[in-house]
Chains A and B, each alone.
Chain A
Amino acid sequence: MRAEVAPFAVDLLLALAGLGILLAIGLVPRRPSGVLAALGLAYLTGASVVPVVLIALVVIGVPFTLEAFGVVVLLCIGAGALRWRAGPEERIASREAWWRKPWRSWSVDAWAAGAFIALFGVFAVVGMLSAFEMPLTVWDAWSIWARKAQMLTEHDSLISGFWSSSSYSWTHLDYPILYPVWEALHFRAAGEFDSQAILRHVWLFLVAFVWAVAFLMRGRVRPVVWAPLLLLAAAAPGVWQQLLTGYADVPMAIFACLGAMSLALWLSDGDGRFIALATIMLAAAANAKNEGLMVVVALLLVAGAISVVRRFRLPELLIASGVVVLSILPWRAWTSVQGIEGDLPISKGITDPGYMIDRIDRVWPAIESIGNQLADQAQWLQLLPLAALVVAVSLISAVGRRVAIFYLAAFAVVWAGLVWSYWISPNPLDWHLGTSANRIVSVLVLICLAAVVHLSGLLLDALGQRRDDAASD
């Protein structure tokens, strides 16, 4: 019974911790319906903040235990509770809820949201039922991620016999450990390491993700816009099939996508709450995978460039970047002290032109391979071409132009960063591309999704406004 139920209590506690953080930031309306709407984003916020803090703690020698997890969760909830008590409950102007009205009077948005809940709800339930039976079969899922989670389940510290042992160097000991920490919390709660019991929790990432995007875009993007687009993303085999492999790529891409979306909202609205959320999501992405760190650097560079050119709130961005750096510092410092080195000769890739020129023949195959994967519309359901369309329309029409520039540049710089990592990698290129290109493009596709949802919303809002203007004239 414990093995079945307790891991879901971990998910609930992560959501409550995230809710506390979001309340403290001021991103959740202080009313029950607002809290319910924010639960998806809250789960992902908790899944970011709590493991990042636990990584810092275990690195400085605090035992990795459920007690430590509980204290971190309580602190997060406490931060939210203080903020909740500080102000009165927000109430929506007495407007009758749509579900209480006769169905004939429901708006197109109400129908769209209802259809989304019904269709995605069935898919989510079936996915969960399937994940309950699914063994962990795909290579890195057990060989890298679950193995590390098992070590964190059996031992409450970073034991040298594993984490800095040359016997396990092939498990990429330098990889950041947010995902194994998140898995280990579930195993510890279950009281045992059961590799078949993790994918049901991994599936929650997808549910929380679509929920989070809908919540983040509320008031800017109408349900009639986000509902079909989020259904498309959830149904894309490249997203849900990869998620159910138990690899860290899609969770990292989800954090990066929400980080990109928050940065875009900050760039368009100047609302400091979004840069705070971006910081949390980018910290998670950087702590989930090495590629995640590269993606985060790319997103911050693009946001920074726009911020400098537009003279737009640069200090806020610098603080956010500093916090992201701080979040990855404990793990990087620990691996450095232990003498653990990664595969990629990063310093050579930045400072050694000779090394780069010698390997120039790796560039085009890398570009081509990533392009090949992105062209596989059986996996990605046209998200990239649709993103190209809305970005082009935004740039030409000047509706949401700054947001469009951000997404376009983010996509290009992340692609360039991925090519760079293949360029400098010492691994045989064919093998490296063959075993990773189909996975690493998920972050590019989710940046496309962010662009499509955000920009379609802005464009159709502009269309509606112009119609209203015409009517009032």
Chain B
Amino acid sequence: MRAVRLLSEVLGALGAGVLVFLVVRQLGFEGRRALVAVALVPLAVAGLLAVPALRSGTAELLDEREENASLTAGEAQVWPGKKIGLAVEFLGWVEERLPEGDTFHLVIGRAPDEVFVGGVGVRQAAILQWGLFQLAPHLAVEQSPKARDLQPGEGRNADWIVFYDAESADHAAVSPAEVLTHAPRFAMARTNLAR
């Protein structure tokens, strides 16, 4: 229906142009001059629409400023992750412990209610993309965007394995004694290879 709406909007503008043309002709202007005068329509429309739109835009920007003013600099950095419900505190905890230049591999636990689009789990993609953003400039290694079961030795070439809502005990590349735990299923461990 909206495609029809676009057509009707264009026809409406052309109709307004025809009306202006007829009125200008009635005022005694010759045909071509009356036609060119139709170009006054955009100016009139712009004059009518621009000021209210600027006013509401200004109000919206002021509201947004007020809304964001309470965010601290630290909160602002992790705001997108927090907004989509991710464990930004855990990732911040990991970030503090990753030595400069070290790489990591993010293991994301599977959720039974995962929704898939084009083979990619929506929740997993969110965790992966935000996790790798919050942990940058540390680089991720051997990371796949698709949901899958853990492979033996996956992430072996990373310096660290980061477990996001996942069991660290199952992972072949880490020793259980080396696991640093933030909360159940949220942990990090140096890989056997890195040690």
Interface residue ranges, A against B (CB under 8 Å): 119-120, 122-123, 126-127, 129-130, 132-139, 142-143, 146-147, 150-151, 154-155, 159, 161-162, 165-171, 193-196, 224-225, 228-229, 231-232, 234-237, 240, 367-368, 371-372, 374-377, 381-382, 384-386, 388-390, 392-393, 396-397, 399, 427-428, 431, 452, 455-456, 459-460, 462-463, 466-467
B-chain residues with CB within 8 Å of residue A154 when the two chains form the complex: 136-137
Jot down 13 A-B pairs with beta carbons below 8 A, ordered by A: A126-B61, A136-B79, A137-B79, A154-B137, A371-B3, A375-B5, A384-B9, A385-B12, A389-B41, A456-B43, A460-B40, A462-B36, A463-B37
Please give the residue numbers on chain B whose beta carbons come within 8 Å of chain A beta carbons, in ascending order: 2-3, 5-6, 9-10, 12-14, 16-17, 32-33, 35-43, 45-47, 49-51, 53-54, 57-58, 61-62, 64-65, 68-69, 71, 73, 75-77, 79-80, 83, 103, 117-118, 120, 125, 128-130, 132-133, 136-137, 139-145
In angstroms, Cα B135 to Cα A154, docked, is 13
Residue of chain A at shortest CB distance from B12: A385
Contact B39 A196 (CB under 8 A): no
Q: What's the minimum C-beta distance from A454 to chain B, rounded to whole angstroms?
A: 11
Interface of B is mostly: helix
Using CB atoms, name the residue of chain A closest to B51: A119
Given A129-B65, A392-B14; A237-B57 close (CB under 8 Å): yes
Interchain CB contact under 8 A, A389 and B118: no
Residues of A close to B33: CB separation below 8 A:
463, 466-467
Contacts of A463 in B (CB 8 A): 33, 36-37, 39
Query: CB distance B13 to A234 under 8 Å?
Result: no
Give, as a whole number of angstroms, the nearest-CB distance from B67 to chain A. Answer: 8
The distance from the CB of B124 to the nearest CB of chain A, in whole angstroms, is 11
What 7 pairs across the A-B complex have the smallest Cβ distances? A385-B13, A459-B39, A167-B143, A235-B53, A228-B46, A375-B6, A154-B137
Is the beta-carbon distance between B6 and A224 smaller than 8 angstroms? no
Q: Check A147–B80 contact: CB distance below 8 A.
A: no
- Indicate whether A237 sits within 8 Å of B39 (C-beta atoms), given known contacts A126-B61, A375-B2, A384-B9: no
Tell me the complex Cα distance, A431–B9, Å.
Answer: 27
Contact of A147 among B43, B54, B133 (CB under 8 A): B133
Complex contact A135–B76 (CB within 8 A): yes
CB atoms of A151 and B43 under 8 A apart? no
User: Could you say which residues of chain B place their CB within 8 Å of the CB of A240?
Assistant: 57
Given contacts A130-B65, A133-B65, contact A393 B36 (CB under 8 A): yes
Which residues of chain A are near B68, meaning CB under 8 Å?
A: 130, 133-135
Interfacial chain B residues near A137, Cβ < 8 Å = 79-80, 83
* Cα(A399)–Cα(B51), bound, Å: 30
Contact B35 A385 (CB under 8 A): no
Q: How far is the CB of B68 from chain A (nearest CB, A)?
A: 4
Question: Which of A196, A392, A397, A466 makes the CB contact (< 8 A) with B77?
Answer: A196
Please indicate the chain A residues that have their CB under 8 angstroms from the CB of B3 in the complex. 367-368, 371-372, 375
Residues of B near A167 (CB, < 8 A) are 132, 139-144
The chain B residue sitting closest to A378, CB to CB, is B53
Cβ–Cβ < 8 Å partners of B9 in chain A: 375, 377, 382, 384-385
B43:A133 contact, CB within 8 angstroms? no
Question: Known contacts A151-B137, A382-B13: does B54 contact A428 (CB below 8 Å)?
Answer: no
Residues on B with C-beta less than 8 A from A136 are 79-80
- Residues in chain B near residue A236, CB distance under 8 A: 53
Beyond A234-B54, A397-B32, 5 extra complex contacts between A and B, CB < 8 Å: A151-B137, A193-B137, A389-B17, A393-B17, A459-B39
Residues of B within 8 A of A431 (CB): 117-118
Query: What separation, in Å, do the CA atoms of A345 and B142 have in the docked complex?
Result: 25
A126 contacts B62, C-beta separation under 8 Å: yes
Q: Is the CB of A235 within 8 A of B50?
A: yes
A167 to B68: give the CA distance in the assembly, Å. 33
Q: What residues on A are CB-neighbors of B50 within 8 Å?
A: 119, 228, 231-232, 235, 381
With most chain A CB atoms within 10 A of its CB, the pick from B41, B69, B137, B145 is B137
